Amino acid sequence: MISSAAIVSASILALVVPHTLAVPFVSEATTTFTSAASTTVSVVPVTNVTSHGRFTGPPATTTGALSTRVTASSIAARPAEKYKSQYPADGKLHQPQPAPYTPGGGLGTNGSEPVYRVISDFDYESVALALYQEWIELDLFRWGLATFSVDEFEDAGLHAEDRYLLEFMANQEVGHATALTNMLGAQAPVQCTYNYPIANVREYIDFSQKLTRWGESGVYGFLNHLDSRETAQILLQSISTEARQQMIFRQFGGLFPMPVWFEVGIPQSWAWTLLAPYISSCPSNQTRLIWQNFPPLRILNQPNPNRINGSDVWNETTSGYANALNNTGVRVSEDCLYTVDGSQDCAPAVTQNRSNPLSYPGRQVFLKWDSPGFRTGPNNSYVTSTSAGTPRFAAFVSQLNVTYSPLRNVSGNTGYAIQPNSSTYEGDPAINGTIFIAITDDDLYITPFNLTLINPHVNALAIYQAG
């Protein structure tokens, strides 16, 4: 036992000699403690989808989106609600505090127990759409690993650690699908079969970064409109992971990882339009969605990130909607994966700063769009539609901006637009990264929070590889 006198002496010594150097000490574990794992929530049942390809079954017995009584042909724009501009925002407190260190206001902050479930039709249809997206991502990530050999991944510059990351991202989707299924309940959408326009690893990476873009942006578009704030919280935490996945695929494809200051949000009908064509079939009792399917837009000179000069390209996509790259016509001398010039290189990397931009202001973007009325989606049971009038504009939707460019030389369902020169803020070109183009009949003024007001004016829709 140490005496009290010794303790006092030690204290005095510490005061008298304040600069004494401590003796280095490295601790080592001497005892290992174990305990039983805490109870965890089981994941939703998951299987490896064994059938892929286009739908070849009988005609669908049910077609079109869900619908009840429609009260108006569109939602009209209205002036801002007055109370939203009345708060003084002077840095002082203007409301009683519900508790110490707690400002007045906020939603879901009154101490009531959170309920993590959807509470309106809007919630259900939005979260169900997100679950469709989680299921296809789970399958796509696993399908790529099962379809392409180690040598094929290696030839694309992706090694064992990269493949493990892809496998881990698939496991993330199991968790996301579980969370969304639990918030939806027994009638939540289940796994389907899928069809991918992919022939090799580099096409796979390109399609994956585009698919994760509309998956991420689709949730950003509705997240803050959900009635259930608890549901929004879970979705926020899952979509933050999805955002990282999209960036990883850009890095796998040799693209600059995040060439924007803000990520874009899109309406649910846009996300469903882009997703549905790649779902082949679902169980007959699958939950159907309310969202619209717009006709596809093909970008005839869609930039090809596999080329040294990615903007000098014509008709190198596999389909409309995603406008995913077709890499079969790129010669080795034109392929940025094999160049020895570091400024032109597009090998997988944490970051790549290519000297040749994929697109630029003033670029002619040549467009071709379909008429409405074609079957799409699971079991070909949805129908493309539009209420828009004569196509007049190409709407470039990126970051916080919707920038319209007049259609030129329109002939039938073809024309071109000039890529606009616009900025989000000074120093941030608005049109960059993986963005969206819509053909519209009007240059309606809209902002990120009310972007859905553009839907009645949309003729067709596509992904654009701006950078």
The predicted pLDDT at position 188 comes to 97
The predicted pLDDT at position 21 comes to 52
Asked if the structure places residue 163 within a domain, the reply is yes
Average pLDDT along the chain, 467 residues, taken 10 residues at a time: 41 40 59 69 84 83 81 81 84 90 91 96 98 98 97 97 98 97 96 96 97 98 97 97 97 96 98 98 93 98 93 92 92 87 88 90 98 96 97 98 97 97 95 97 96 98 97
Asked if the structure places residue 30 within a domain, the reply is no
**pTM of this prediction?**
0.90
The predicted pLDDT at position 357 comes to 92
Burial of 53 (0-12, 13-18, 19+ CB in 10 A): exposed
The predicted pLDDT at position 39 comes to 63
Question: C-alpha distances in angstroms, 432 versus 107, 253, 323?
Answer: 34, 16, 16
Asked if the structure places residue 96 within a domain, the reply is no
Do residues 221 and 274 touch, judged by C-beta distance below 8 A? no
Asked if the structure places residue 307 within a domain, the reply is yes
**Domain range for 271:** 113-465
Domain count, the chain: 1
Asked if the structure places residue 57 within a domain, the reply is no
Asked if the structure places residue 242 within a domain, the reply is yes
Asked if the structure places residue 82 within a domain, the reply is no
Asked if the structure places residue 186 within a domain, the reply is yes
The predicted pLDDT at position 6 comes to 41
The predicted pLDDT at position 193 comes to 97
The predicted pLDDT at position 276 comes to 98
